[in-house]
Amino acid sequence: MESNNSGNIQYQIKKISAEGSVSLSIALQALEQALKDAPTDRNGFKLVQIMIQDNQPFHKLSINLPTKALIRLGEDSNVSISSSLGTVTLSSAMLKQAQLKASESIALHMEKEDSGARPSVNMEVKPPIPVHLSLPYAPSPEERKKPDLLVLMRILEDGTTVIVPKGKYDPNNKSMVIQTAESGTYVVDFRSISFTDLEAQPWAGDAIEALGAREVVRGTGNGNFAPDRAIKLAEFVVMLDRMLDLDAEDIQVLESAAGTLTAKDSLTREAMAILLARAITLDKGVAIPEADLTVLSRFQDGESISDTAINSVSWMVSEGIMLGDGANLRLGNIASRAESAVMLYRVFHKLY
- Residues 308-344 pLDDT 10s: 999 999 999 999 999 999 899 999 999 999 999 999 9
- What local confidence, expressed as pLDDT, does residue 43 receive? 75
List the domains of the chain with CATH numbers: 2-190 (2.60.220), 202-350 (no CATH)
- What local confidence, expressed as pLDDT, does residue 340 receive? 98
Cβ atoms of 76 and 47 closer than 8 Å: no
CA-wise closest residue to 228 among 271, 262, 199: 199
CA distance 156 to 161: 6
- Reported as a single tens digit per residue, the pLDDT across 274-283 is 999 999 999 9
**What's this model's pTM, rounded to 2 decimal places?**
0.89
Cβ atoms of 77 and 59 closer than 8 Å: no
- What local confidence, expressed as pLDDT, does residue 85 receive? 93
Q: Can you tell me whether residue 207 is helix, strand or coil?
A: helix
Q: How buried is residue 20: exposed, middle or buried, by Cβ count under 10 Å (0-12/13-18/19+)?
A: middle
pLDDT score of 4 more than 70 = no
CA-wise closest residue to 179 among 245, 119, 127: 245
